[in-house]
């Protein structure tokens, strides 16, 4: 991916293109995505019981999770320190701005965490708007900051047609809404490999060609490339900061963390020690990284993949309203608060 450093000489701004993985955070060149989890008694950053509008699928404490170890870990980068989230600083520096998370339920997961973090600073604020079935907005009027989430499982369009639901790999019609934001945080992957009743489309279309199915990793590449071209063509990155979230991992296969025979996260109560995940990065990560490198405008890889792989303990498992095993999403409070601490570094510096 190309990132940019700009130097001002008089009235002339010279931008130097840097080819990188998008992992530097702007604080003395430190890679804040490399590090390990350490115990910290001062965590969590808020009491989830006091957070309004917290969805039942993320509220592990309310639905009976007996251990609280997962709340007590802090991310420690290898060569610097991650600043503790400061709601006042966040809202002050982003006064008058609009932030939007665009993606699947993992984006909703992070949005919920950010609302809880900010609400703990301004508990009297409770302005939540459902703009339509796809968009929610939480506003902090004292600072004129709005935090949106836009539900889009694939980023590209899915449309109802006579033949059924069609996943259009070369079409993005919702972009006219997204590009007006000051900060955009994109995410997609969770729904690309789903089949059967959980699959949200019946056919795939590329140009004039319609097929019943295709290699899902290739479909992901094509869809993500459409999004990348949209960024280059439509987003004014002088006004709008664009971040793309790394692949959020699942923990259903214990072989990945050296526990053969384990088939979910139900009994996991501690993170993986150290900085590496034995299974390595998922295949989708490499597809994502390859596409992002081809974007000519400045886009930051919000690289939460490895640090989240280490948190096999941070999922709701069965501690949700539905009692269903969930090793895909994350407890709130929990890991997603760290995502937002990392996000704060990116958007307030």
Is 236 among the catalytic positions?
no
As a whole number of angstroms, the distance between CA 106 and CA 305 comes to: 12
Backbone torsion region of residue 325, taken as left when φ is above 0, otherwise alpha when ψ lies between -120 and 50, otherwise beta: beta
The tokens for 164 are: 């059924």
Do residues 268 and 212 make contact, with C-beta atoms less than 8 angstroms apart? no
**Active-site residue, selected from the candidate residues 105, 107, 317, 318:** 105
What single DSSP character describes residue 271? P
Do residues 327 and 311 make contact, with C-beta atoms less than 8 angstroms apart? no
**Active-site residue, selected from the candidate residues 248, 326, 337, 344:** 326
Is 326 among the catalytic positions?
yes
CA-to-CA separations, 206 to 143, 171, 188, 278, in angstroms, rounded = 43, 9, 19, 37
Give strand pairing partners of 186. Answer: 102, 244
Do residues 19 and 292 make contact, with C-beta atoms less than 8 angstroms apart? no
4 CB contacts (<8 Å, ≥6 apart)? 15, 16, 17, 18, 298
The catalytic site residues sit at 105, 326, 329
């Amino acid at each position: 991916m190309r990132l940019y450093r700009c130097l001002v000489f008089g009235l002339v701004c010279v931008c130097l293109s840097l080819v990188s993985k998008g992992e530097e955070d702007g604080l003395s060149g430190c890679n804040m995505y490399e590090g390990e989890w350490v115990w910290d008694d001062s965590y969590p950053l808020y009491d989830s019981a006091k957070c309004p509008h917290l969805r039942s699928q993320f509220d592990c404490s309310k639905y009976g999770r007996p251990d609280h170890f997962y709340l007590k870990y802090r991310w420690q980068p290898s060569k610097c320190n991650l600043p503790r989230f400061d709601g006042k600083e966040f809202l002050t520096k982003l006064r008058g701005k609009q932030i939007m998370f665009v993606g699947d339920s993992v984006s909703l997961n992070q949005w919920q965490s950010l609302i809880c973090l900010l609400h703990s600073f301004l508990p009297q604020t409770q302005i939540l708007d459902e703009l339509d079935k796809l968009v929610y907005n939480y506003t902090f009027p004292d600072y004129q900051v709005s935090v949106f989430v836009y539900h889009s499982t694939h980023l590209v369009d899915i449309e109802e047609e006579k033949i059924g639901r069609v996943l259009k790999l070369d079409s993005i019609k919702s972009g006219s809404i997204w590009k007006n934001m000051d900060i955009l945080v994109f995410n997609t992957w969770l729904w690309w490999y789903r089949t059967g009743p959980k699959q949200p489309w019946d056919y795939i279309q590329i140009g004039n060609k319609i097929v019943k199915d295709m290699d899902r990793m290739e479909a992901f590449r094509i869809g993500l490339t459409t999004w990348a071209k949209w960024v280059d063509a439509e987003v004014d990155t002088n006004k709008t900061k664009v971040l793309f979230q790394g692949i959020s991992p699942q923990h259903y296969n214990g072989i990945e963390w050296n526990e053969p025979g384990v088939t979910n996260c139900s009994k996991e109560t501690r993170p993986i020690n150290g900085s590496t995940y034995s299974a390595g990065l998922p295949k989708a990560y490499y597809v994502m990284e390859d596409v992002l490198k081809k974007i000519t405008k400045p886009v930051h890889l919000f690289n939460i993949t490895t640090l989240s792989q280490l948190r096999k303990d941070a999922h709701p498992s069965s501690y949700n309203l539905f009692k269903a095993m969930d090793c895909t999403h994350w407890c709130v409070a929990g890991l997603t608060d760290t995502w937002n601490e990392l996000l704060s570094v990116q958007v307030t510096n």
